[in-house]
Amino acid sequence: MKPITSLLPSWLRTPTTGPAAEETAGAPFGPPAIQIQPRRLELSDGVCASLVVTGYPREVGLGWLEPLLTYPGRLDVAMHINPIPPQLAATRLRRRLARLEAGARSDYEQGRLVDFEADAAAGDAHDLAAQLARGEGRLFQAGLSLTVHARTPAELDEEVSRVRALAAGLLIDAKPTTFRALHGWITTLPLGVDLLQTGRTFDTAALAAAFPFTSPDLHADLGEHAVLYGINAASASLVMWDRFTCDNHNSVILARSGAGKSYLAKLEILRSLFTGIEVCVIDPENEYARLSAAVGGAHIALGADGVRLNPFDLPPGAHKTKDALTRRALFIHTFIAVLLETPLTPSERAALDRGIVAAYHQAGLTADPRTWTRQPPLLADLATALTGDGDPAAAQLAARLAPYVSGTWRELFAGPTTTRPEGHLIVFSLRDLPDELKTVGTLLTLDAIWRRVTDAGRPRPRLVVVDEGWLLMRQAEGARFLYRMAKAARKHWAGLTVITQDASDVLGSDLGQAVVANAATQILLRQAPQALDQITEAFALTDGERHLLASAHRGQGLLLAGADRVAFDVVASPAEDALATTDPAVLAALGQGTGHLSEFGEFDPAESPESPSGLDEEDEL
């Protein structure tokens, strides 16, 4: 046995005999000794051989290293990247172009046939030189090395043949490191040391395509707002997606209860905040309180004492537009229809329109934009105007509004708006609202959020999350309002996320189907058997995808984006998991129930009785 000596750093050298060898036998790097052969190394737990890539295809696509990274055997892949200074890169390109042009001129003068490879190389060099001159890219020196492991020399020869055949299929020429087996093995260790020094010049685009954490199943560009969704179920790559690079920025998440849809939404929110996106959430069950507290967001509990939203409020900067009052009056029509839960008759609609105009005039708000800074009317003012209208339809409408004006459900509308939320994360909680007011509460919060989104004075990317969207979809007016929001969000640099466990409410109506159709990103987690046929038809699922959704475990599903489809498993760090989970066992360990996470820093997820996200520990980052 020959010990590793001069080629290894001192801290990596492992004694082969004596007490020190016994203490360091389980060292994380390398065996205690190796035997060096011309083309392989014999280790204490098997044998290995190294390959170095000397030839590359002329063009590469996104995730071109994916077949090597997902090789079923034990294969170490190392890429060493060194940037080339722009001045040196420009000098080398000029020399390269001069040689190629001189060779082409010589071939022409001698009457030789055109060298097409040299001609293609000259074109590539011209393109690289133009990119460097415009500052659109840089050049890098990259070296790719592989180390194949096996238990016996015979198995190693078979594995090396398979890897070289796989590389040849990718138009990659992998050569054995003959008489440099030790150098190749050290090069693939996580040391950042390249002893082979067999680099190839890459431009920025080709090097970015080799990024190992990009799923080849998704072909959209990743912008500055890309977030991690999970691990590709068919490979070891990560599924990263940027909804703001799609045709529209909307998404829908459909899943049965307990499949992990809210868990995924919280992870997306948390990761989106890191990219500078402002997020607004409609939370029907107070599930986002701990997340809001952890990141310093604003939490507004509708239905709590003293919390009110006035539907008659005009949007910020209303005086800069000419039709703000008219648009607000039209929204009041939608609001009243949802509030009363029954369609209005033509006479009631006419009476309501007169009452809205009278209420605004009584408060001093007229068609003159200069009056729009005054205090807007309340729902009680509308009821008073309807009572004094003299029309029986108006009187009947005022009677139907009585529970919300002077009855048991008046608290939410009993005064002016008490809070105007600000912050990078704003959560509207509807848990304290009576069930009879949750639909209209969702509509009011959507309206408040929409006024914030359309504020031209503060342009920035925004994400609006509507959890349990079936609360709004079950009302025709509410579904119509959500549809309009889905259609127009893109124009205001915003994305709408609709989360629901009742697929029939979304897919069972034309408006619901339109909301899904206007979502460029569609996420399907585990589905109830009763909804599988409808889901399969609506999303044109294959038999394999249908089976996946029928048998998926918690946190596993499909991401659909146009022609791109990828199955993935949701992953989360322990800190993210503690913020996103709703598992009662973990919440009991936190000692917080579903409230704020004031002692989050003391919680150790390793002490949890089970993984709250339903994922195995080895699946988590």
For residues 432 and 407, state if they share a domain: no
The full DSSP string for 426-488 is EEEE-TTS-HHHHHHHHHHHHHHHHHHHT-TTS---EEEEESSTHHHHTSHHHHHHHHHHHHH
Domain final position from 162, 183, 209 = 209
Rounded Cα distance between 43 and 14, Å, is 13
Percent of residues, the chain, with pLDDT higher than 70: 82
- Grade residue 374 by pLDDT with cuts at 50, 70 and 90: confident
In the predicted structure, residue 587 carries a pLDDT above the cut 50:
yes
Q: Nearest Cα to 160, choosing from 146, 178, 172? A: 146
What pLDDT sits at residue 308?
Answer: 85
For residues 370 and 490, state if they share a domain: no
Beta bridge partners of 80: 143
Rounded Cα distance between 529 and 521, Å, is 23
- Grade residue 174 by pLDDT with cuts at 50, 70 and 90: very high
What pLDDT sits at residue 136?
Answer: 65
For residues 404 and 443, state if they share a domain: no
Q: Does a structural domain hold residue 345?
A: yes
Q: Nearest Cα to 288, choosing from 508, 116, 445? A: 445
- Per residue in 412-440, pLDDT tens? 888 888 877 788 999 998 888 888 887 88
SS3 189: coil
Backbone angles phi, psi at 604, to 5 degrees: -110, 105
Pairing of strands 41-43, 227-232: unpaired
Q: Which residue type occupies 555?
A: G
**Average pLDDT of the residues of the chain:** 80
Q: Nearest Cα to 500, choosing from 282, 247, 269? A: 282
Interval 454-468 mean pLDDT: 83
Q: Does a structural domain hold residue 112?
A: no
Q: Does a structural domain hold residue 96?
A: no
* Cα 463 off chain centre by: 11
Interval 559-586 mean pLDDT: 85
Domain final position from 415, 443, 461 = 415
Q: Does a structural domain hold residue 222?
A: no
Tokens of 482: 């959500």
For residues 606 and 535, state if they share a domain: yes
SS3 292: helix
- What is the Cα Rg of the chain in Å? 32
Q: Does a structural domain hold residue 67?
A: yes
Q: Does a structural domain hold residue 200?
A: yes
For residues 597 and 523, state if they share a domain: yes
Number of domains the chain contains? 3
- pTM of the full predicted structure? 0.65
Q: Nearest Cα to 361, choosing from 347, 382, 379, 380? A: 382
For residues 192 and 330, state if they share a domain: no
Domain final position from 369, 399, 415 = 415
For residues 170 and 296, state if they share a domain: no
- Grade residue 150 by pLDDT with cuts at 50, 70 and 90: very high
CB environment 275-296: b (16+ within 10 A), e (fewer): eebbbbbbbbebbbbbbbbbbe
For residues 354 and 439, state if they share a domain: no
- Per residue in 303-321, pLDDT tens? 888 888 888 988 776 767 7
Rounded Cα distance between 511 and 509, Å, is 5
* Residue-number span of the structural domain to which 352 is assigned: 318-415
Q: Does a structural domain hold residue 272?
A: yes
SS3 241: strand
Beta bridge partners of 173: 55
For residues 587 and 500, state if they share a domain: yes
In the predicted structure, residue 332 carries a pLDDT above the cut 80:
yes
Q: Does a structural domain hold residue 551?
A: yes
For residues 178 and 151, state if they share a domain: yes
For residues 483 and 616, state if they share a domain: yes
For residues 468 and 569, state if they share a domain: yes
In the predicted structure, residue 168 carries a pLDDT above the cut 60:
yes
- Per residue in 7-58, pLDDT tens? 444 434 444 444 444 444 444 556 778 899 999 999 888 999 999 999 888 7
> First-to-last CA distance in the chain?
38
Measure Cα distances from 259 to 32, 270, 554 in Å: 47, 19, 5
- Please report, for the domain that includes residue 517, its CATH number: 3.40.50.300
What pLDDT sits at residue 3?
Answer: 39
What pLDDT sits at residue 190?
Answer: 87
